[in-house]
Amino acid sequence: MIDTVELKKLLFADREAAFFRLRGGYPIPLAGATWWAALGTMGYVVLDPNQWILFAFYASGLLFPLALLYARIFKIDFMHDKSAALDVLMPTFASMLLFWPIAIAAFWTCPQLVPLVLAIGLSIHWPVIGWHFGRTGIFVTHAVVRATACFILWNWWPSTRFTLLPFAVSAAYLLTVIAILNASSAQRQKMCLESAGLVGSQSHRTQI
């Protein structure tokens, strides 16, 4: 029987392998950056907050297809990947979707609140996604920085709620993509293998 410590090591190794194999699933945050940049642009084009909100609600359905498109372009097949921790993703995304009643209620009662609800609500799942890839720090940092920046902009620069706030979320996504690509590079993978003592053993097995 495998003890708890050994099981944790094996699970982390599997999660980390998925992180390097899928490059941290960066097509998904890249899709988020594109979507939020479009919302920021719409903030300057559409002056009616209600129209902006309806556009945001309907266009949110494009997030996943856009992620699939980027995954196809960059050959990151996250849809068919398998890992031991994969089962955590379905309840994670399901829990994230529970913020939508708040967004709809805000639309009916206080439309100005919707951009903040969307900005924070659509990041609720990020810490768990980070755990799934064995890189909780990067993903938690994204969620905290994003929520903090949007809270500050929404409260102290109300004129930016439908313009600069979405662009701030887009920028957070782009910076996170850069961090993910750096952390999942071949050099970083080699360093992780060396620190785990796997490079030498692999080369030894190859010689045998």
pLDDT on residue 190? 87
Q: Which residues contact 162 (CB under 8 A, 6 or more apart)?
A: 39, 42, 43, 49, 52, 115
Parse the chain into domains and list their residue ranges.
14-195
**Cβ(137)–Cβ(130) below 8 Å:** yes
pLDDT given for residue 203 in this prediction: 41
Looking at residue 206, its pLDDT comes to 34
Please give the average per-residue pLDDT across 55-63, as a whole number.
95
Share of the chain above pLDDT 70, in %: 93
- pLDDT of 120: 97
Average pLDDT on 93-118 reads 95
pLDDT tens, residue by residue, 152-164: 999 999 999 999 9
Yes or no: say if 184 and 23 are a contact pair by the CB < 8 Å rule. yes
Mean of pLDDT values over 163-168: 98
